[in-house]
Amino acid sequence: MKATLLSSTAILLTLGGQLAQTCQDHGSHDTKQWKLSPEELAELKELERKWGTDWSFSGISTFAHLKHVKCLTAPSEKFDIGIIGAPFDTATSYRPGARFGPRAIRQASSRQTSFRGFNPRAGINPYASWATIIDCGDIPITPFDNAVALEQMSEAFLELGLRSSPPGKEKGKKEERKPKLITLGGDHSLALPALRALKKVYGREVRVVHFDAHLDTWHPAKYPSAWPSTQSHFNHGSMFWLAGQEGLLSNSSTSSNIHAGLRTRLSGTDPSDFTDDTSQNWLRLSADDIDDLGGPSGIISAILSQFDLSDPDPDPVYLSIDIDVLDPAFAPGTGTPEPGGWTTRELIRILRGIMDVLNIVGADVVEVSPAYQGRGEETALAGAQVVYEILTGMVKRGLKDVEAGEAQGHDEL
């Protein structure tokens, strides 16, 4: 009898859930309401109690064991923060392999769980706070045609960016909130389609805080070739140059974009790459500046000095983190490693100092190429920890916005 009851309940739930999802996605108002008896609900509750929790080493691999939804095919799914993978690496200039980055970062996040996710530095558990956070899966990106791949990523980021978040729980006026995406790369070129989407979603240029060993503002001609093509302009070293050409970045003299952790070699026989970078309105903080400015706190102050933190309508900021900002001793599994970088601890300290202060509207963690890392997964582990810090900062910033909104009598989240 019990087996029959549970079997029937499972069938009802499966069919009812599929029917409800199908009808909702197609705008039908004839969804059949499946109602369960108290006995059936009690049975389901008991099953969840017994079998509903995974260990860190068990379960299907999603980021931090989050609920997985293929968000691109589930328009009715609402979320505040979505983890989306962009397994693309055919715009790299040296070592490929970052297409496996999203999978590696998810695997490395296995020890992150909602029941052991409290961040003592921030005083919150980002997985058990106000935000609905889900793993949206991956964008299915072609590895054969970069023009199509760029179009796919641009449309995917826009599709998800235009979704609405779940309604807030605070009293007062309810304003539609925009969901935020954290992209697991993939090579760094994905920042261009992400910025395209954000410009349309927010209707304004975006500021960028960019952690990287390299400038990534190179004019495409800096990659010499006897076979030039327009399509070759789209690569993981020129995407911010392209973003500037397309008017996606703030170009105000008082609103520069920021590089941090630089230690790249330059083109030719002079520092003209820096001149080009300055003309594109970027402030450069080198890896060595962490010593000259007094440690992570000096880097934090230098970044925040570029923002008006009292502005009631703060600039939207895109946070882009190339894992090669870390020294190869800490992140060898990347496409273009550069010795002399920051430690994982230093990067995390800097992120903690800016994340819940700035108005971060999107972020990426890119260039994790697991084929080049050791068996200890050090590069992917660093990437997973960085995502956790970003999540924490977004959630904590959201709590601040709630408090500000309640003081004004409406919901800001």
Residues 281-293 pLDDT 10s: 999 999 999 999 9
Encoding tokens for residue 381? 């582990």
| Selection from 367, 373, 261 nearest residue 323 by Cα | 367
Residue-level pLDDT at 173:
40
pLDDT (0 to 100) of residue 229 = 86
pLDDT, one tens digit per residue, over 54-69 is 888 888 899 999 999 9
The terminus-to-terminus CA distance of the chain in angstroms comes to 48
Q: How many whole angstroms separate alpha carbon 132 and alpha carbon 80?
A: 5
Taking only the tens place, the pLDDT of each residue in 308-325 is: 999 999 999 999 999 999
The answer to whether 196 touches 246, Cβ cutoff 8 Å, is yes
Do the strands 133-138 and 317-322 form a parallel or antiparallel pair, or are they unpaired? unpaired
* Secondary structure string (H, E, C) spanning the chain: CHHHHHHHHHHHHHHHHHHHHHHHHCCCCCCCCCCCCHHHHHHHHHHHHHHCCCCCCCCCCCHHHCCECCHHHCCCCCCCEEEEEECCCCCCCCCCCHHHHHHHHHHHCCCCECCECCECCCCECHHHCCCCEEEEEECCCCCCCHHHHHHHHHHHHHHHHCCCCCCCCCCCECCCCCCEEEEEECCHHHHHHHHHHHHHHHCCCEEEEEECCCCCCCCHHHCCCCCCCCHHHCCCCCHHHHHHHCCCECCCCCCCEEEEEECCCCCCCCCHHHHHHHHCCEEEEECCHHHHCCCHHHHHHHHHCCCCCCCCCCCCEEEEEEHHHECCCCCCCECCCCCCCECHHHHHHHHHHHCCCCCEEEEEEECECHHHCCCCCHHHHHHHHHHHHHHHHHHHHHHHHHHHHHHHCECCC
Q: Are 301 and 350 in contact (CB under 8 A)?
A: no
Record the tokens describing residue 180, joined without a space. 């935020």
Q: What is the pLDDT of residues 344-367, one digit of tens each?
A: 999 999 999 999 899 999 999 999
Task: Please tell me the predicted confidence (pLDDT) of residue 402.
Answer: 67
Distance CA 210, CA 282 (A): 10
Which positions of the chain have pLDDT values less than 50?
1-32, 170-173, 410-413
Do residues 211 and 322 touch, judged by C-beta distance below 8 A?
Answer: yes
CA distance 167 to 413: 9
The annotated binding site is made up of: 188, 212, 214, 216, 322, 324
- Annotated binding site for Mn(2+), which residues? 188, 212, 214, 216, 322, 324
Query: What number of CA atoms fall less than 13 Å from residue 105's CA on the CB side?
Result: 35
Q: Please report the pLDDT score of residue 30 as a whole number.
A: 42
